[in-house]
């Protein structure tokens, strides 16, 4: 049974255990990599940015359920690994890319955003190797009444993790409204969203 308190506690414990590390990479036999680059504060072009705690908690929960490969930023080193052209985070993905077919990169939207989920596909560039896989996810979200946008406000292009590796793997940048991940009032919606992604990822190789 899903526990919101455990969902939050897992993230807190993960960051506490790895607070001395710049990032953590966990390998597995899976060819899916779940990424959470903004679970701690970042600095972009000298400007501090708040952490997206829900994106890390969401990715971590899915990793625990599915035993995929997993990578997450765990320390603020005054950088932004999703924006910076070069980073140890991206270098690690590059070294593992031959064993990765799918990269799902999780981020958080402001709670004031109208949409529940945004899928960044860079005008189709990131998903070109399997459009059906993207359409399956999109339809599942819509069917369950999640307000879902595509490439708005973020499209996962250029120097993002999705854009950097879209020639090597099927990639997508998933933005989730922080009110769903951070507010216990939306626990049932969070549980449903986790189930959608869990079922989608379980069947990813069949689509």
pLDDT of 200 above 90: yes
pLDDT tens-digit readout, 49-62: 999 999 999 999 99
pLDDT tens-digit readout, 80-124: 999 999 999 999 999 999 999 999 999 999 999 999 999 999 999
> Which DSSP letter does residue 197 get?
H
pTM: 0.97
Q: Which two tokens stand for residue 201?
A: 């990822």
Domains detected in the chain: 4-206 (3.40.630.40)
Angle of helix 4-17 versus helix 53-66 axis, rounded to 10: 100
């Amino acid at each position: 049974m899903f526990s919101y308190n455990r969902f939050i506690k897992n993230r807190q414990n993960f960051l506490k255990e790895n607070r001395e590390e710049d990032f953590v990479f966990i390998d597995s036999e899976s060819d899916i990599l779940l990424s959470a680059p903004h679970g701690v504060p970042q600095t972009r072009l000298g400007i501090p940015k708040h952490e997206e705690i829900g994106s890390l908690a969401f990715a971590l929960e899915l990793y625990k359920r599915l035993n995929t490969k997993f990578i997450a930023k765990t320390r603020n080193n005054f950088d932004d690994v999703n924006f910076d052209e070069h980073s140890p985070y991206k270098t690690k993905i590059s070294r593992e890319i031959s064993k990765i077919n799918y990269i799902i990169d999780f981020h958080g939207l402001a709670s004031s955003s109208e949409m529940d989920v945004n899928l960044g596909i860079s005008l189709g560039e990131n998903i070109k190797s399997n459009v059906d896989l993207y359409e399956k996810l999109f339809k599942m979200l819509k069917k369950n009444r999640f307000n879902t946008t595509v490439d708005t406000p973020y499209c996962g292009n250029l120097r993002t993790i999705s854009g950097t590796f879209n020639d090597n793997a099927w990639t997508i940048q998933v933005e989730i409204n922080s009110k769903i991940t951070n507010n216990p009032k939306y626990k049932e919606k969070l549980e449903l969203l986790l189930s959608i992604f869990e079922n989608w990822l379980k069947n990813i190789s069949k689509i």
